[in-house]
Structure 1
Amino acid sequence: MWDSLQQLSYWNWLAFGTLLLILEVFGAGGYLLWIGVAAACVGVLTYLMPGLPWAIQFILFGVLSILTAVLWWRRQRTAAKPSDQPGLNLRGSELLGRQFILHEAIHEGRGKIKAGDSLWLVSGPDLPVGSTIRVVGQDGVLLKVEACE
């Protein structure tokens, strides 16, 4: 076994890096990407310095793996910025503040409005059909409404 470790060449590192990058394509979620890049870097260093001992190669591989992963993680954390469309996946948030006519009366705190081509479940004070209401809040798919004067 020690004999095979002493015979490591740049081809071994490049093959290992390629294998890790291929496995990353199948959905590792970014974990194998930076380890594969580190293996490829060690392969390039081994090509440039063919007499590099195997122990140094493994130490370089470990250090480069950790370094590339930490640098990418830090970059991702600093690059995160708030969305310019905060309500993108909050269906119904665009209805807040708008006025509608009750489609079904609010009875025992529940009723329905028609917004566009959709019916929305609403909660609020008991009101008859045809009353004008304003959407004042949202709790999941339930819109909270109040009567308009």
Structure 2
Amino acid sequence: MWEFLQNLSYWDWLALGTVLLILEVFGAGGYLLWVASAAIIVGAATFLIPGLSWTLQFPLFGVLAVLTAVYWWQRQRGTVNSSDQPDLNRRGHELIGRTFVVQQAIVGGRGKIKVGDGVWMVTGPDADVGTPVRVTGQNGTVLSVEVAHEVTELPGRN
């Protein structure tokens, strides 16, 4: 085994890179892709410099594996996309700040408001049917409201 490791050729590094790429296909989540690329680069270096000693090949592989993994990590962190619709998958969050009319009286801190063609559960101060309330927050599917003094949303047009 020791003799094999001392006489690594570019084919061995390419084979290692290929095996790592195959393992990546089975769901490593991107981690083995960069280690495989490091093995392929070492294979290319061994092909271009045939006398490259194993004592240089292994450290080169280690350094390249770390560098490619760090590169991938930084690139992933830098690709956070800001959306033109930040509340797209946060149903109800877009309602915060809007005013609606109570549909079912808020009694004991719980009631309902009509939003568009849907009805939302709300928590807030007790209020009679028809009272304008402003949405101040959201906890899951329940909206938090406070009594408002003017109506900015028409009940049938939301």
Relative to the length of structure 2, the TM-score reads 0.82
The one-letter amino acid paired with 1:49 is I
Aligned pair 1:27/2:31, yes or no?
no
Aligned pair 1:51/2:48, yes or no?
no
Structure 2 unaligned regions, length at least 5 = 150-158
Aligned pair 1:71/2:95, yes or no?
no
Partner SS for 1:89:
coil
Distance 1:80 1:134 in 2: 32
Give runs of aligned pairs for residues 1-149 of structure 1, distance below 5 A: 1-80=1-80, 82-149=82-149
Greater displacement, 69-78 / 136-145: 69-78
Structure 1's consecutive aligned runs of 4 or more residues displaced over 6 angstroms after TM superposition are: none
Structure 1 unaligned regions, length at least 5 = none
Partner SS for 2:34:
helix
Distance 2:35 2:13 in 1: 11
Distance 1:116 1:26 in 2: 46
Aligned CA-pair RMSD: 2.0
Distance 2:136 2:70 in 1: 44
Tell me the number of residue pairs that the alignment of Structure 1 and Structure 2 aligns: 149
Q: CA deviation at 1:128?
A: 1.9
The one-letter amino acid paired with 2:19 is L
Distance 1:147 1:125 in 2: 7
